[in-house]
Amino acid sequence: METIEVIEGRAPRDIDVVTFFVPPAICPTPADLRAMAQANRDVFEPPLAKVRFHCDPYFVNLRYSPVGIVSLTRYWFGLFSHRRGGLWKGLLQVELAPSQDDADASDYVNGLSCP
């Protein structure tokens, strides 16, 4: 996070979002997960999600190997924790706890098409 309005005198263009997730039950295999992402490109592909949601989404599957998860975490942290000039930026962690929002999100995910 940064105050781009103060630093550069402009409104933010988007929010970068890295989601660490466990694949939904409707996609038990990697092929199913790829098919769901392909069928819902506006959610999973950054250029399309940027237009619809004003964010750049990135995903880390928590079923990857521990080494893979650490590697991806290190990559995203390195990419998003500094400005191009090397100045530190803040990162915000939002933990999603079971709630009505969680139930609504589950209904949404389960409603996505998985060919």
Task: Encode burial over 46-62: b for 16+ CB neighbours within 10 A, e otherwise.
Answer: eeebbeeeeebbbbbee
Q: Does the pLDDT value for residue 18 go beyond 90?
A: yes
Read off the pLDDT of residues 67-115 as tens digits, 9 standing for 90 and up.
999 999 999 998 888 877 778 887 888 877 666 677 777 777 777 655 5
CB 6 within 8 A of CB 12: no
Mean of pLDDT values over 55-68: 93
Alpha helix ranges (H) inside 1-115:
4-7, 30-39, 41-44, 46-53, 66-80, 100-111
What's residue 38's pLDDT? 93
